[in-house]
Amino acid sequence: MKRLIDNIARYVLTVSGFTTSVVILLIIGFLFKEAVGLFNNPIVEDGYVLALNKENDVKRLSAQQIKNIFDEEITNWKEVGGKDMPITVFRLEDLDKHYTEAELGAEYEYAGDKIAEQVHQTPGIVAYVPDVLMKGQKDIHYIENQDIPVKDVLLGNEWFPTATPSPIFGILPLISGTLWVSFFAILIALPFGLAISIYLAEVANEKTRKFLKPIIELLNGIPSVVYGFFGLAVIVPFLQQTFNLPVGESGLAGSLVLAIMALPTIITVGEDAMRSCPRSMREASLALGATQWQTIYKVVIPFSISGITSGIVLGIGRAIGETMAVLMVTGNAAVMPHSILEPLRTIPATIAAELGEAPAGGAHYQSLFLLGVILFFITLIINSCVEIVSSRNKFKK
Amino acid sequence: MKKCVSFFLGACCMCLPGILMAQRIKGSDTVLPLTQELSEMYMNQNPSATVTVTGGGSGVGISALLDGTTDLAMASRKIKFSEKMKMKQSKHEPCEYIVAYDALAVIVNPQNPVKQLTREQLEGIFRGKITNWKEVGGEDARIVVYSRETSSGTYEFFKESVLHNKNYMSSVLSMPATGAIIQSVRQTKGAIGYVGLAYLNPYVKAIAVSYDQGKHYVYPSVESATRKEYPIVRPLYYYYDKQNEKNVMPFLNFTTSKEGQAKTLDLGFIPR
């Protein structure tokens, strides 16, 4: 009978462990599959073409060039390697300006001919039109469509996911924004967190600790959107006045909010680790004539270092992955941060703000999955670093 | 007549199992509050009808219409050409119904002396070509530009109408909600942003806008928008499948009835 129960237990544990691992692997696989799909998308939105006059000999344009042309930053074909003639931008909506609805037909059946007419008439035209309309049109030169290059995404420093005709997915500003905010958050949270956990574990008397600890743990239970609102209404104006900034929404506001949010984790885990230091070691140190402070930093902290580091890592994890609070206070400007007092944009905030209306399966949607994968790698790297650090510490002991 | 209609609706329901007397409306968050109020009034008048309203955004609503999981799609932008083509390919025809109009007001901090701007100046500001208030007749202070998130229909409309389809500068501050823009403009001296007319409040200052190079400046208000003088006005749409027309028409007619229009005005939208 006992053996039967034993076998059943073993079987249940194996099955549940196995399925959980498989599910986790599948989730990661799904993430990667969606993310890699981004690089199979053409730079000009799917289903559309850029049509040129047949006299024009420009063959290829990068996403950046297309954006600048349609923003009228580039106004001459000479600048993108063509002949010296001005660029005329033409969008599908411009059809209404040139033709009446009757001329275009109820089902847009004549729209293709009319677009072709425009393209033939204007030598410097670049027309951004659906490819179904252009089927069967003659004497029109198209820009070669290429897949989104990996280099432009990973090293690009502009994020315009909804720009037409050619969205730009440079993720560098988002990665640097995330790391920048998290770095400062930990820089702020670490000294305070350590100080409080040492105080709670070693200095405070039983009564104070029993009073303080639940309050600190309560901080953990406050929803992040409340922190975000607090940040927007209190921290942002405060920073604006203190540093006399033109704009209060900044990386520092995000770091401060994140630091407050990471504190309870660092404190609780750190304190637990320090309190698990055996009484015998502490007393031995005191008996040898060490002062309380000497005992803390020579005995207690080295003993509990792996617990303290895991607290810090959990804190960093919370900071990097935090979405709502950061979304509300950092200003979300997708630019490379030069100082912590400027607005910036983080990866989780971008995903949260944009996934809602990104058409499923489109390039924008897949680019958000790519951001998820990158976030996954950042956390993975941090976790492995800690693993290495703590294993080395064990070895020393 | 009413009996006849309800009999017909009943017959429709028999033909399409799964679709009961319910009407499902999905889409833009801008149109959502209006639709909710209207549908409640409609259900009070017609106890047999049930209308379920959900938000999610214009794009979500239209793709739900495409899948046939909603009867009406709310949209704060016109249906895209590609979406229309997709509908046609699956042998459905999208029909458009304008339910109301919504005006966008450009807002600045109340301490800002600037009262009016032309469209060209606004384009310069939102594209990062004009960066100091003194270039447009204000104090010597940096302009801080607030915008909505890229997924918002408001963002797209402002881009189309004011920026003539050009892109915003990359350092624009994008806020997740209209409330956040108001809060930020209220506490930032050099700020400029845009919100729906219904959200205007005394903590921010709306500015007059000119679309004819500074000849006429118009201050945003329900009156000026109704008189078609204020230029930054967009229609709010309902989209439905032509085959489903008989099913949705009673509700659509209700929205443009006298009471429906009175409610529309009440909520700060401009009746059609």
Does one domain contain both B148 and B197?
A: yes
Q: Do A158 and B170 touch (CB under 8 A)?
A: yes
**How does residue B126 score in pLDDT terms, banded at 50, 70 and 90?**
very high
| B246: its two tokens | 């008989």
pLDDT at B5 over 70: no
**pLDDT at residue B64, as a whole number:** 86
Interface residues of B toward A, Cβ cutoff 8 Å, are: 56-60, 63, 81-82, 85, 88, 127, 141-142, 144, 149-152, 155-156, 165-167, 170-176, 180, 183-184, 187-191
In this structure, which long-range contacts are made by residues A218-225, counting pairs with CB atoms below 8 Å and at least 24 apart in sequence? Answer: A219/A260, A219/A261, A219/A263, A219/A264, A220/A264, A220/A265, A220/A268, A224/A261, A224/A322, A224/A323, A224/A324, A224/A325, A225/A324, A225/A325, A225/A328
Q: Do B188 and A67 touch (CB under 8 A)?
A: no
Tens-place pLDDT, residues A17-74: 999 999 999 999 999 998 998 998 888 887 788 888 888 888 888 888 898 898 888 8
**pLDDT at residue B6, as a whole number:** 53
Mutate to test the interface with A, among B129, B143, B150 (most CBs of A within 10 A): B150
Q: Which helix (H) or strand (E) holds B239?
A: strand B233-241
Does one domain contain both B108 and B94?
A: no
Does one domain contain both B130 and B193?
A: yes
Does one domain contain both B245 and B183?
A: no
CA gap A349, A354 in Å, rounded: 8
Whether A358 has its CB under 8 Å from any CB of chain B: the answer is yes
Does one domain contain both B69 and B26?
A: yes
Query: Of B226, B247, B262, which marks where a domain is finished?
Result: B226
**How does residue A384 score in pLDDT terms, banded at 50, 70 and 90?**
confident
Tens-place pLDDT, residues A283-311: 999 999 999 899 998 888 888 888 888 88
Q: Do B63 and A359 touch (CB under 8 A)?
A: yes
| A123: its two tokens | 């030598």
Residue of chain B whose Cα is closest to the Cα of A342: B171
Does one domain contain both B183 and B254?
A: no
Which CATH number goes with the domain that contains B35? 3.40.190.10
- Specify the number of domains making up chain B: 2
Tens-place pLDDT, residues B65-81: 888 889 999 988 888 77
Tell me the CA distances in angstroms from B134 to B107, B114, B168, one per residue in order. Answer: 17, 9, 21
**How does residue B119 score in pLDDT terms, banded at 50, 70 and 90?**
very high
The proportion of chain B whose per-residue pLDDT surpasses 90, expressed as a percent, equals: 34
Residue A20 identity (one-letter amino acid):
T
Q: Do A162 and B141 touch (CB under 8 A)?
A: no
Q: Do B156 and A162 touch (CB under 8 A)?
A: yes
Tens-place pLDDT, residues A192-237: 999 999 999 888 889 999 999 899 888 888 888 899 889 988 999 9
Does one domain contain both B85 and B193?
A: no
Beta strands of B183-232 (E only): which ranges?
A: 191-196, 205-206, 208-210
Q: How many Cα atoms occupy the beta-carbon half-sphere of B10 within 13 Å? A: 7
Nearest by Cα to A62 from A154, A189, A139, A167: A167
Does one domain contain both B80 and B178?
A: no
**In this complex, which of A92, A237, A327 lies closest to B176 when CB atoms are compared?**
A327
Does one domain contain both B151 and B57?
A: no
Residue A269 identity (one-letter amino acid):
V
Q: Which helix (H) or strand (E) holds B101?
A: strand B94-108
Domain A169-393 of CATH type 1.10.3720.10: yes
Q: Which chain B residues are Cβ-neighbours of A106 within 8 angstroms?
A: none
Q: Which chain B residues are Cβ-neighbours of A247 within 8 angstroms?
A: 144, 173, 188, 190-191
Q: A380 to chain B nearest CA, in Å? A: 29
Q: B174 to chain A nearest CA, in Å? A: 5
Q: Do A248 and B151 touch (CB under 8 A)?
A: no
Q: A81 to chain B nearest CA, in Å? A: 23
| A287: its two tokens | 């008996």
Mutate to test the interface with A, among B62, B184, B186 (most CBs of A within 10 A): B184
| A334: its two tokens | 């997708």
Query: Of B207, B226, B245, which marks where a domain is finished?
Result: B226
Q: Are A337 and A255 in contact (CB under 8 A)?
A: no
Average pLDDT rounded to a whole number, residues B2-17: 46
Tens-place pLDDT, residues A227-285: 988 998 899 999 988 988 888 889 999 999 999 999 998 999 899 989 888 889 889 99
Does one domain contain both B78 and B194?
A: no
A42: β partners: A147
Residue with tokens 């004009």: B130
Domain with B78 in it:
3-101+236-271
Tell me the H-state helices in B141-239.
Answer: 153-161, 178-187, 222-226
**In this complex, which of A48, A91, A333 lies closest to B171 when CB atoms are compared?**
A333
Q: φ and ψ at B149, to 5 degrees?
A: -65, 155
Mutate to test the interface with B, among A134, A135, A332, A345 (most CBs of B within 10 A): A332
CA gap B182, B97 in Å, rounded: 31
Residue of chain B whose Cα is closest to the Cα of A47: B82
Instruction: Mark A213-250 as b/e (b = at least 16 C-beta within 10 Å).
Output: beebeeeeeeebeebbbbbbeebbbebbeeeebebbbb
pLDDT at A394 over 60: no
Residue B85 placed within a domain: yes
Nearest by Cα to B149 from A353, A336, A173, A348: A353
A·B CB contacts under 8 A: 98
Q: Do B141 and A70 touch (CB under 8 A)?
A: no
CA gap A247, A330 in Å, rounded: 10
Q: How many Cα atoms occupy the beta-carbon half-sphere of B92 within 13 Å? A: 22
CA gap A238, A231 in Å, rounded: 10
Tens-place pLDDT, residues A75-115: 888 888 888 888 888 888 787 778 877 777 766 778 888 88
Does one domain contain both B209 and B130?
A: yes
| A198: its two tokens | 């040492």
| Residue A74 CB neighbours (<10 A) | 18
Backbone conformation region of residue A72, classed left if phi is above 0, alpha if psi is from -120 to 50, else beta: left
What is the residue-averaged pLDDT of chain B?
85
Tens-place pLDDT, residues B136-182: 988 999 999 999 887 677 888 899 899 988 899 988 998 877 888 89
Residue of chain B whose Cα is closest to the Cα of A365: B151
Architecture of domain A46-145: 3-Layer(aba) Sandwich (3.40)
Does one domain contain both B202 and B126?
A: yes
Residue B231 placed within a domain: no
Q: Do B167 and A72 touch (CB under 8 A)?
A: no
**pLDDT at residue A24, as a whole number:** 93
Residue of chain B whose Cα is closest to the Cα of A343: B173
CA gap B33, B55 in Å, rounded: 9
Q: Which chain B residues are Cβ-neighbours of A162 within 8 angstroms?
A: 150-151, 155-156
Q: Do A357 and B58 touch (CB under 8 A)?
A: yes
Q: Are A188 and A259 in contact (CB under 8 A)?
A: yes
